[in-house]
């Protein structure tokens, strides 16, 4: 628990995800997870279709891609699985370079032809493999 708390503080999430509770008649502080806190072992970062073709149609695309890149760095620090999909990359291009630049070298990208990632069997397989 201490290691997770330290990692969360490192990426600036500690105060958001952890709360200290003073236990009556005790002289120590107990760290308790909030009831809506995600479980590290059952979580993943999914980046869905952040492709170059959408740069001109999604408002603030560059800023969004940069924020996703920060999320990727946080996911790597926490050891979270990262899943990335690309909708028909032959026609829509590949994932934004801002995101690609921070991905692990061994990162697989799931190519799909269905609009929904939930309709793509490789996406389901990756979720299962990651234990999410």
- What CATH number has the domain bearing residue 48? 3.40.50.850
Report which of residues 15 and 43 the model is more confident about.
43
pLDDT in tens, 49-93: 999 999 999 999 999 999 999 999 999 999 999 999 999 999 999
Whether residue 112 has pLDDT greater than 80: yes
Q: 125 and 79, same structural domain?
A: yes
Q: Determine the pLDDT at residue 70.
A: 97
Tell me the whole-structure pTM to 2 decimals.
0.72
pLDDT in tens, 3-31: 555 554 554 544 444 444 444 444 555 56
Q: 66 and 8, same structural domain?
A: no
For residue 68, give every residue at least 6 positions away whose Cβ sits within 8 Å of its Cβ, in sequence order, or none: 47, 50, 96, 98, 99
Q: Determine the pLDDT at residue 15.
A: 45
Q: 63 and 17, same structural domain?
A: no
Q: 112 and 94, same structural domain?
A: yes
Spatial CA neighbour of 47 closest among 92, 100, 106? 100
Please tell me the total count of domains within the chain.
2
Q: Determine the pLDDT at residue 115.
A: 87
SS (H, E, C) the chain: CHHHHHHHHHCCCHHHHEEEEECCCCCCEEEEECCCCCCHHHCCEEEECCEHHHCCCCCCHHHHHHHHHHHHHHHHHHCCCEEEEEECHHHHCCECHHHHCCCCCCCCCEEECCCCHHHCHHHHHHHHHHCC
Angle at 80 between CA 109 and CA 8, to 5 degrees: 140
Q: 54 and 9, same structural domain?
A: no
């Amino acid at each position: 628990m201490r290691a997770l708390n330290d990692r969360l503080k490192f990426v600036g999430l500690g105060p958001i995800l952890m709360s200290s509770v003073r236990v009556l008649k005790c002289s120590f502080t107990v760290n308790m997870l909030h009831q809506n806190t995600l479980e590290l072992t059952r979580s993943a970062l999914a980046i869905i279709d952040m492709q170059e073709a959408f740069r001109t149609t999604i408002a603030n695309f560059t800023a969004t891609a940069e924020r996703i890149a920060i999320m990727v760095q946080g996911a790597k620090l926490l050891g979270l699985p990262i899943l990335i999909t690309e909708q028909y990359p032959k026609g829509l291009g590949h994932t934004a370079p801002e995101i690609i630049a921070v991905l692990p070298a061994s990162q697989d990208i799931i190519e799909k032809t269905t609009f929904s990632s939930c309709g793509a069997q490789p996406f389901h397989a990756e979720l299962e493999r990651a234990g999410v």
